[in-house]
A and B are shown apart, each in its own frame.
Chain A
Amino acid sequence: MKKAEVVAIVALLALLVAPLAMDRYLLSVFVLVFWAAYAGQAWNVMMGFAGLLSLGHSLYVGLGAYAAAALFVHFGISPLLGLFPAMALCMIAGVVVGWLGFRFRIEGVYFALLTIAFAEVARIGFDHLTWTGAAGGFFLPVSRETAGQWWNLRGGPLFFYYLSLGMALAALGICWALRRSRLGHQWLATREDAEAARAIGINVTRARIVAVLISAAMTSLAGVFYAFYYNNLFAAQIFDMSRSIDIVLAPIVGGIGTLFGPIIGALILIPLGELLTEATRALGINAPGVKAIFYGLGLMVIIALAPGGVWPAIARRLGIGEGRR
């Protein structure tokens, strides 16, 4: 067995038994870590594999969350079934964004702006949609009777810990498989040089659309999870550009286009945020914004010192062969 495999198995076992020693707070922090790792993995399919910079992934989080929540609240449909229409809705939205972008050759920064524009339109739209509570928020009912219904994603912190861990692992598995597939190689070729990829017979537009579809579908599940974990949805929060930014941070900091990058990035950023909260509290600084100032500075330092991401730097040191390619 290779050193890398031993490390991975030990880490996984540790995560499986760790909740025994955790309080509610720590559990909630790990849920955030796994969520960020999952969503980052989904985003990485588009940016890391296919080279499509999306800065509007909050669109898919929000659509997925609202779709599953509305089906549950209005029709009593379990999210385990509701996630399929939610995925379908996000895939349709993804096709619209992708088709517009690729059909009219909107690339790079322009494409990123297009994705932001769609997320913003959705934010304002849902802020006015009374069927889902408009600006007043959309709330999922919480009651004692439904408390243990896992099929309705009702459960305690422990339930959501294992659910989010499972999602993060599944996303890792999917990305691993995609990376090795024919499609994965087409993406890499497209990312490195679209013209050359076209010349050797790759259907670039098709490869890109498929990347958007997979990424959108995966991200929609992050939205479904969000809705049933927090039990409340506000369009101004879930579609906000800062959510899109949060999603892209973990994979970029961890290492774009790598399999473990989003996980490592989430493991760095979420605890960093929590530590800053603790540190400012311990120092008795009660001013708003201090934490975020350090967070912003931290981002600038990380990207200046480890431009390719933290994970490739660690992997090289450990002698594990996961470079950019």
Chain B
Amino acid sequence: MTLALTIEVLIQGLLNGLVYGLMALGLSVIFGVVRVVNFAHGEFAVLAMYTAFMAATYLHLDPFIALAPIAALFFVIGYVLQKTIVAKFIDRPDHQQFILLIGLAIVIVNVMLLVSGPDARHVNLSYAYDAYFLGPVLVDKTRVLAAGGALTVAAALFAFFRFSMTGVAIRACADNPTGAAVVGLDVRRLYALTFGLGLACCGAAGALLVTIADPTPTLAPAFTLLAFTIVIIGGLGSMPGALLGGVVIGVAEALASLVVAPSMKSMVSFGLLVVILVLRPRGLMGRSAS
């Protein structure tokens, strides 16, 4: 194991981690505001990967260009889903929301299975094998582009929440829904917008992920767990925490597959999850409960 290889793997993990982080950011935003845990998050991410795959195959759209319309499409899906179904479950106990979204997850996975079959789909990109050389270290071009895309989308989302009136209103809702309703905010609409934004992140992440991984229906539950792990490590409800958690997990898994075995890598992230829950129950950047 040479130093160059180690650095290569670390960079790869870091870049992957940023894309995972964007996916997890969507989960974090939804939970932070709507207080609903989206148990179908990984399913939506893989659905976005399939959408990007179809756009690339049938419309010859580069995934990095298809990202915008896919994110928009998933925004609409999220908005409608919240308005029509999830809104009725907002005040219900956790386990009922869980059943609703697990039901939805089962439907999504099996629709994908029905339409596309169990085989992995691969998107052919003309620049798939391009790489940058940093001395002896090799960095894949697609990963750099995907990580850059993830950072751009995340930055846009941060800016939206910090500077736009709607973003500020959504944050007000997150802090105190009753108070927000009292001062005249349309909480139901803001919740729908938030769910839409969360799924838009997820959709964008899916479009980026298709350039570094091949979608199969079985990937979906694994992604849901991955998103949870990242969000809890970073701190549920913290936006920078989601990206940080993604990077931590990405690097840890990359190192694990180098040092131990690729099949053991998710064990490392769950081990990390347990350690972090014990040391910092609210995650790395989560606000403390007290």
Contacts and interface: CB of A to CB of B under 8 A. Distances in A.
Given A106-B281, A110-B281, A120 B225 contact: yes
Given A110-B277, A120-B270, A295 B99 contact: no
A296 B104 contact: yes
Contact of A113 (B85, B228, B261, B266): B228
Contacts, number: 126
Nearest to A124: B267
A121 B271 contact: yes
Interface stretch (A12-20, A21-29, A32-40, A244-252): A244-252
B225 to A, nearest CB: 7
B263 A127 contact: yes
A45 interface: no
A300 B277 contact: no
Between A109, A290, A297, the greatest number of chain B beta carbons within 10 A of the residue's beta carbon is seen for A109
Interface stretch (B16-24, B88-96, B240-248): B88-96
Given A124-B263, A127-B263, A128-B264, A295 B106 contact: yes
A307 interface: yes
Interface string A102-122: 001110111011101110110
Interface stretch (B110-118, B137-145, B157-165, B173-181): B110-118
B274 interface: yes
B98 interface: yes
Tell me the interface secondary structure of chain B in the complex: helix
B225 A296 contact: no
A287 B113 CA distance: 9
Interface in B51-90: 85, 88
B94 A289 contact: no
Contact of B99 (A113, A121, A299): A299
Given A117-B274, A245-B102, A289-B113, A307 B96 contact: yes
Nearest to A108: B94
B273 interface: yes
A296 B228 CA distance: 21
B211 to A, nearest CB: 26
Nearest to B97: A303
A287 B117 CA distance: 9
A256 B92 CA distance: 13
A46 B98 CA distance: 17
Interface string A266-278: 0000000000000
Given A100-B277, A106-B277, A303-B100, A288 B114 contact: yes
Contacts of A245: 102
A106 B280 CA distance: 10
Chain B: interface size category: 35 or more
A10 B88 CA distance: 39
A108 B273 CA distance: 16
Contact of A120 (B117, B261, B266): B266
A135 to B, nearest CB: 8
A300 B100 contact: yes
Interface in A258-307: 287-290, 292-293, 295-300, 302-304, 307
Contact of B277 (A104, A248, A252, A293): A104
Contact of A288 (B113, B225, B281, B289): B113
B100 A304 contact: yes
Given A300-B100, A304-B100, A292 B289 contact: no
A125 interface: yes
B8 to A, nearest CB: 25
A241 B92 CA distance: 23
Interface in A90-104: 100, 104
B182 interface: no
Contacts of B96: 252, 303, 307
A292 B100 CA distance: 15
A112 to B, nearest CB: 7
A114 B277 contact: yes
Contacts of B289: 105
A121 B266 CA distance: 8
Interface string B248-287: 0000000000000101101100110110011001000000
B283 to A, nearest CB: 9
22 contacts: A53-B94, A104-B277, A110-B236, A116-B225, A117-B273, A120-B270, A124-B264, A124-B267, A241-B225, A248-B95, A289-B111, A290-B114, A293-B111, A296-B103, A296-B105, A296-B106, A298-B103, A299-B103, A300-B99, A303-B100, A303-B103, A304-B88
Given A252-B95, A287-B114, 6 more contacts: A104-B281, A124-B266, A124-B267, A288-B117, A292-B107, A296-B103
Interface of A: 47, 53, 55, 100, 104-106, 108-110, 112-114, 116-118, 120-121, 124-125, 127-128, 241-242, 245, 248-249, 252-253, 256, 287-290, 292-293, 295-300, 302-304, 307
